[in-house]
Amino acid sequence: MSGNTAVFAKSVAMLGSSEDNTALSRALSQLAEVEDRIEQLHQEQAANDFFTFSELLADYIRLLGAVR
């Protein structure tokens, strides 16, 4: 998901830099900045989710080992 967001942000940034209308160009540039930040947040959340899932899985495996 973050990869698609990054591609979208780059596309919007390129569109904003090629736009002749300054107001639209500025709005597109701001949108690109927001999308970049969203992409960073997606990456951070994915890393946090992976860590949480890994810890839960490790706890479950230890619990199964203790039951045996």
Domain boundaries, the chain: 2-67
For 21-61, the pLDDT digits (tens) are 999 999 999 999 999 999 999 999 999 999 999 999 999 99
- Stretch (H or E) spanning 62: helix 22-67
Say how far apart CA 21 and CA 9 lie, in whole Å: 19
**pLDDT score at 2:** 67
Q: How far apart are alpha carbons 49 and 27 in whole angstroms? A: 32
Residue of 53 and 67 predicted with greater confidence: 53
> Terminal CA-to-CA distance of the chain, rounded, Å?
40
* pTM reported for the whole predicted model: 0.73
Residue pair 32/13 in contact (Cβ under 8 Å)? The answer is: yes
Instruction: Tell me the pLDDT band of 67, cut-offs 50, 70 and 90.
Output: confident
CA distance 55 to 53: 5
